[in-house]
Amino acid sequence: MLIEINISGDPAKHGIAPEELPALAQAIAPLPRLNLRGLMCVASHTDNSDQLRQQFTQMHSLLAQLRPHAPQADTLSMGMSSDMNLAIECGATMVRIGSAIFGKRDYPNAA
């Protein structure tokens, strides 16, 4: 399993706040049927590479903080089609590249 971190602090996004990670990881550690493999996030929707780099770098640091509670944690899922190269540069081991494969989504207007 991956814990989702709300790395941008955007209230419209899901995940826990970064400071909640140690307590949640400690709560999961003794549960034998859960295999905590790492972290995931959806970074800010922006073209600001400095902002994205800061968020991705923070996620990489959080993964290091997770390892004492989950030594098997080796997955850092972050980055999408538009920012995957930067995410990989910052340590991503899994990227979500749906629009690069399937094309841009067409969202109908709400009626």
Taken in order 75, 28, 21, 67, is the CA torsion positive or negative? Answer: negative
pLDDT at 27: 96
3-state class of 104 per DSSP? coil
The angle, 0 to 180 degrees and rounded to 10, between the axes of the packed helices 49-66 and 21-28 is 40
Give the pLDDT score at 107: 65
Q: Let me know: does 37 contact 74? Beta carbons within 8 Å.
A: yes
The structural domains of the chain, ordered by start, are 2-100 (3.20.20.10)
pLDDT band at 95 (very low <50, low <70, confident <90, very high): very high
Question: What are residue 39's DSSP bridge partners?
Answer: 3, 76
- The pLDDT value recorded for residue 100 is 75
pLDDT (tens digit, 9 = 90+) per residue, 10-69?
A: 999 999 999 999 999 999 999 999 999 999 999 999 999 999 999 999 999 999 999 998
pLDDT band at 110 (very low <50, low <70, confident <90, very high): low
